[in-house]
Chains A and B, each alone.
Chain A
Amino acid sequence: MDVIDQLNAVKTGKLSRRAFQKTLLGAGIGIMTTPFAASRAAAQDAQGTLFTWGGFDIPDLYTSYEAANGAPPDFAVFGGAEDALTRMRSGFVVDVAHPCHTDMVRWVQTGLFQPIDTSRLSNWGDVLPELVALESNEAENGMPWMVPFDWGGTSITYRTDLVEIEGEESWDILWDERYAGRIGMLASGGDAWWCAAIKAGVPFDQIATEMAFEKTSAALREQRPLVRVYTDDTTTLGQALSSGEMVAAMTWNSTAVELQAEEIPVRFAQPKEGALTWVCGLMMHKDAPNPDRAYDIIDSMLSVEAGEFMIGAYGYGHSNAKSFESFTDDELQGLGLSANPREILDAGQFSIPQEQEWESRMNETYELIKAGF
């Protein structure tokens, strides 16, 4: 069929009905199939998927991945690790997920993950060995289940101009009745429960006992009337702190560092009872659809560029020893970090992996308390 020919036919009024309908049909098929062609092209180019915490879905951490694959990976975001696990157990398949060490044992038990072949990671040699040698991390032949990525603390970010501190900083700030209605809490039990246990004076190796359970839940119940909102959304907490809607909130390092960058007078407390410290890392799904890209994601997150961004912009520790080289000791100390993570992790309280039974019970109880029971 010739386009010019048809135009002539129209001009001279000789376009037959059949020819006209053929043209229509052709145009229709063309329009209908264009999106399919485009999506097939896109499918060939599918990026690896990373299932991670809110805030890690920014391109700065994936520069080497982007250089190799043309675009940052696809992100799926969760607010709490338990939520993430439930979603994957009900069939959500990703390439790489980002749990913390406390969750790792239970995640491995689901059989949804595969050991990581570290020989495929160019940055593996620089990874701090003490972060790899965590309890139960070895899968087989020296391959780990989880490649450590970030570490840091859960503590209190408070407004230095609105909160009075007598003596040392302490978890009591979040239990102070003078600030009723102006306190923010993390909604995930993985942080809140452990911090409440510190406040209630429960040693972590006894956290699974009945006594510890009662003491911790009593502390959280006592705090509940003071809490303005329970959320896992760090943006909500950050905004509330900057506007003065909240004076203190349980947060991770990044909230304080980001607010300080905006010159809001906040401090990330170093409570005398110890902050909650954690190490999180990357695990690979056993059915990862893009295993090569999964390794690219992990490798780019382990890179020095990613590490410098993590430390500089978020105030989190990184697992690559070289990432710390461009920071002075003073800078690191100001962020509550050190090039030697053991120092920090030992000074704080490191949460211990628990059985699924305990985890479910803990989450259920924390939800009850949040709802007011």
Chain B
Amino acid sequence: MVSVPDAAPVRRNRLTAWFRRSEAAQGYALMSPTLVVLVVGIAVPLLILIAMSMWTRDGFGFDMTPTFANYERAATEPIFGTLLTRSFFVSGLATFFTVLLCYPMAYYVAFHVHRNKMLWIVLMTLPFWTSYLLRVFAWRVILGYEGVINSAFLTAGWIEAPLEFLLYSQTAVIITLAHAWAAFAILPLYVSLEKIDKSLLEAATDLGDGPFTRFMRITLPLSMPGVISACFLIFIPTTGDYITPALLGGPDGVMIGNLIQLQFGPVNNWPMGSALSIVLMAWIAALALVFLFLTRKAKDQLA
């Protein structure tokens, strides 16, 4: 809506009247701060990214004739596919282990803690008050050649020489990601477990379900929304993670995020970097849709 300062009073009145009548206009006006942020912060950069992904590098500048050559390269050259698959593999495993390890914690607080629940939640998220980078560095100290694990094992006499696979490997990346993103799993899991109506559990027990069957038939299905959102919250950002593989991955732990960074850095091919980012986004969106579809189907079958 553009207000015209010199407009005749009649017209201005009409405009106000229209604004009062139209619910949509009022809605947009209310949303406008958020809308501005969304447009400036997400939609415009995304459009720039899409436009740039169709350009070609030309020395220090860009050749702006639109072409799909970058996407062709992304589809045909083996490095891109391999790194993409590896990223999905690493971040999939990290997501799996994070959710697996965080579920019992969230479960305990939701069902067995009755006083000071908030304090427990705060305590569980306490390690995440430090910076992500610091946590990654801390894992370097733990997993390193002369690190905590290796020195402990050496002192205990369990190993002869330091374990080298601990650092600079995909294992190191998975371990670190699983720890670094734990807070993002605990909170949604806790919320969905906390919401479960305890009388359903009692009913199940009354009707003869043992603890295991009760968990499988009541608790787990009802906490599925939490599990799904935890999976999304971890899988999506870790697939493109840059700093963990850069610091802990070694030559075989490089992920797609590192490759994208390189395109904007030393390789100096911004259009290719943009194309890779778009491809990554498309893949994540596709995988997320499949995941959602499958869980919905499973839910329908349960119902």
Q: Which residues of A contact B (CB under 8 A)?
A: 80, 82-83, 86-87, 89, 109-110, 181, 188-189, 224, 227-230, 240, 243-245, 356-357, 359-360, 363-364, 367-368, 370-373
Could you jot down 24 A-B contacts, CB within 8 Å? Answer: A80-B266, A82-B266, A83-B266, A86-B266, A109-B60, A110-B60, A181-B164, A189-B266, A227-B251, A228-B168, A229-B250, A229-B251, A240-B145, A243-B146, A245-B145, A245-B162, A357-B59, A360-B57, A360-B267, A360-B268, A368-B79, A371-B254, A372-B252, A373-B78
Contacts of A228 in B (CB 8 A): 164, 168, 250
Contacts of B60 in A (CB 8 A): 89, 109-110, 356
CA gap between A267 and B266 in the complex, in Å: 30
B56 within 8 A of A: no
Contact B251 A230 (CB under 8 A): yes
Query: Which stretch in B64-72, B92-100, B110-118, B257-265 binds the other chain?
Result: B257-265
- Binary interface encoding of chain B residues 81-100 relative to chain A, with 1 for a CB under 8 A from any of its CBs, else 0: 01100000000000000000
Contacts of A363 in B (CB 8 A): 266-268
Give the residue name and chain of the A residue nearest to B146 (CB).
A243
Interface size on B, residues (CB 8 A): 24
Contact B251 A367 (CB under 8 A): no
Contact B146 A370 (CB under 8 A): no
Contact A188 B259 (CB under 8 A): no
B223 within 8 A of A: no
B53 within 8 A of A: no
Given A228-B250, A245-B164, A373-B78, 12 other A-B residues pairs in contact with their CB atoms under 8 A: A80-B265, A82-B268, A83-B265, A86-B266, A229-B251, A240-B145, A245-B146, A360-B267, A371-B83, A371-B251, A372-B251, A372-B252
Give the secondary structure class of A's interface: helix
Contact B79 A371 (CB under 8 A): yes
CB-CB contacts below 8 Å: B159-182 with A: 162, 164, 168
CA gap between A229 and B145 in the complex, in Å: 13
Contact A82 B145 (CB under 8 A): no
Minimum CB–CB distance from B172 to chain A (whole Å) comes to: 11
Minimum CB–CB distance from A112 to chain B (whole Å) comes to: 10
Contacts of A245 in B (CB 8 A): 145-146, 162, 164
B269 within 8 A of A: yes
Contacts of B168 in A (CB 8 A): 228-229
CA gap between A243 and B167 in the complex, in Å: 14
Give the secondary structure class of B's interface: loop
Minimum CB–CB distance from A250 to chain B (whole Å) comes to: 14
- Given A181-B164, A229-B168, decide whether A367 and B250 contact each other with a Cβ distance below 8 A: no
6 tightest A-B CB contacts, nearest first = A245-B145, A82-B266, A363-B266, A373-B79, A83-B265, A243-B146
CA gap between A244 and B145 in the complex, in Å: 9
- Given A245-B145, A356-B60, A363-B267, decide whether A370 and B164 contact each other with a Cβ distance below 8 A: no
Minimum CB–CB distance from B42 to chain A (whole Å) comes to: 20
Contacts of A364 in B (CB 8 A): 267, 269
Contacts of A360 in B (CB 8 A): 57, 267-269
CA gap between A109 and B59 in the complex, in Å: 11
CA gap between A354 and B237 in the complex, in Å: 38
CA gap between A292 and B252 in the complex, in Å: 47
CA gap between A227 and B168 in the complex, in Å: 11
Minimum CB–CB distance from B76 to chain A (whole Å) comes to: 13
Contacts of B162 in A (CB 8 A): 245
Minimum CB–CB distance from A17 to chain B (whole Å) comes to: 33
Contact B266 A188 (CB under 8 A): yes
Contact of A371 among B59, B145, B259, B268 (CB under 8 A): B259
Give the residue name and chain of the B residue nearest to A89 (CB).
B60
Contacts of B269 in A (CB 8 A): 360, 364
Contacts of A357 in B (CB 8 A): 59
Contacts of A356 in B (CB 8 A): 59-60
CA gap between A367 and B262 in the complex, in Å: 8
CB-CB contacts below 8 Å: B192-242 with A: none
Give the residue name and chain of the B residue nearest to A190 (CB).
B266
CA gap between A245 and B79 in the complex, in Å: 29
CA gap between A364 and B146 in the complex, in Å: 33
Minimum CB–CB distance from B124 to chain A (whole Å) comes to: 32
Give the residue name and chain of the A residue nearest to B248 (CB).
A229
Contacts of A109 in B (CB 8 A): 60
Contacts of B82 in A (CB 8 A): 372-373
Give the residue name and chain of the B residue nearest to A90 (CB).
B264
